[in-house]
Amino acid sequence: MLDCIVIGAGQAGLATSYYLRRKGLDFQILDAEPSPGAAWRHAWPSLTLFSNSASSNLPGWPMPHHDGFPPASHVIDYFARYEQRYDLPVRRPVRVQEVSHDGENFHVTTDDELLNARTVVAATGTWSSPFIPYYPGSFAGRQWHSAFYPGPDPFRCESVAVVGAGNSGAQIAAELVLSGVDTTWFTAKPPRWMPDDVDGRVLFQRNRARLNAMMRGEPDPGADTNLGDIVVVPPVKRARDEGLLEASPMFSSLDEVKADHLIWCTGFRPALGPFRALLDGRTPTVEGLFLVGYGTWTGPGSATITGVSPFAKQAAGDIAKLCSPNL
């Protein structure tokens, strides 16, 4: 019987596991990916962090230095070395089908076996659950989601419609227009640009201020979205300032979209399928199930590499109390 099973080896799973290791608990990490990196293994080629390496740290060991904003490959290498540094017990590829509870312990069903544990951490993130909204009509071209955007090369000499007023929509549209691809950027509302000097470091500081205020019982100073929705990374700034990145009003039917490709940059939903029987919406119905790193609703900044740490630490502390109540 394990003290804990952590499902997912992205930043939330690794950070929680770091603190579980420090508590001396017996745990395993189950990861569906064939190698380290989690969702970063699937990032489009040009995707980078919004902050520099000094502001992108998991607990215990800082991210190695990288000039500028680190690319996904740097994050993947960091995660791999982090696992090795702390000898984290990751098993992969392991796909979890269902998590159940018998009133006392958890039972985790994978493709190949049944595992038992006193507690479970859901750290599955969102990448495997892309969201595409419904629109009437039909589109004759090829549809994509930003989760599977391959970079601009497949779209050269063709036309592309990009949907979404957030970071992925702005970044993908900017990369396409700067690559000379005929691109129309559709947004449901005018783009809300953050100030040009705001990056991930500033957002982390704001999220930490929110957390500290909430812990002190003070009024919430406000979410990142008060600043805007789009971080103005260098390619976005260039495309915007050159007049290439202009939004078009959102269509009401797919029949209106005249393009060879349609890329949905419309976000994700929490990948909570294996846990549904133990949730009321997004709230666990049994003691010992912890959801870590899914976004603002699991804590300000908790979906980021640096921001997840305090929530991972809290979860590990609560797990230790459940498994070793006399400590």
pLDDT digits over 158-213, tens only? 999 999 999 999 999 999 999 999 999 999 999 999 887 665 555 555 555 555 55
Q: Measure the CA–CA gap between 6 and 8, rounded to whole angstroms.
A: 6
Which residue reads 């700034």 in tokens?
A: 237
Q: Measure the CA–CA gap between 318 and 25, rounded to whole angstroms.
A: 12
Q: What is the predicted pLDDT for the residue at 137?
A: 98
Q: Is the pLDDT of residue 221 over 80?
A: no
Beta bridge partners of 230: 193
Q: Is the pLDDT of residue 140 over 90?
A: yes
**Full-model pTM:** 0.90
Q: What is the predicted pLDDT for the residue at 216?
A: 59
Structure token pair of residue 89: 């017990």
Q: Measure the CA–CA gap between 112 and 127, rounded to whole angstroms.
A: 23
Q: What is the predicted pLDDT for the residue at 194?
A: 84
Report residue 51's pLDDT band, with 50, 70 and 90 as the boundaries.
confident
What is the chain's percent helix, strand, coil content, to nearest 5?
30, 20, 45
Give the β-pairing of 261-264 and 159-163.
Answer: parallel
Q: Is the pLDDT of residue 223 over 80?
A: no
pLDDT digits over 9-22, tens only? 999 999 999 999 99
pLDDT digits over 228-283, tens only? 788 888 999 999 999 999 999 999 999 999 999 999 999 999 999 999 999 999 99
The SS3 assignment for 209 reads helix
Q: Please report the domains of the chain, with CATH numbers, ordered by start residue.
A: 2-129+268-323 (3.50.50.60), 142-193+228-264 (3.50.50.60)
For residue 142, give the H/E element and its range.
Answer: strand 142-145
Range list of H helices, 216-286 = 234-241
Whether 320 contacts 327, CB under 8 Å: yes
For residue 98, give the H/E element and its range.
Answer: strand 96-101
Q: What is the predicted pLDDT for the residue at 198?
A: 65
Report residue 50's pLDDT band, with 50, 70 and 90 as the boundaries.
confident
Report residue 309's pLDDT band, with 50, 70 and 90 as the boundaries.
very high
Report residue 54's pLDDT band, with 50, 70 and 90 as the boundaries.
confident
Q: Is the pLDDT of residue 217 over 70?
A: no
Q: What is the predicted pLDDT for the residue at 214?
A: 56
Report residue 61's pLDDT band, with 50, 70 and 90 as the boundaries.
very high
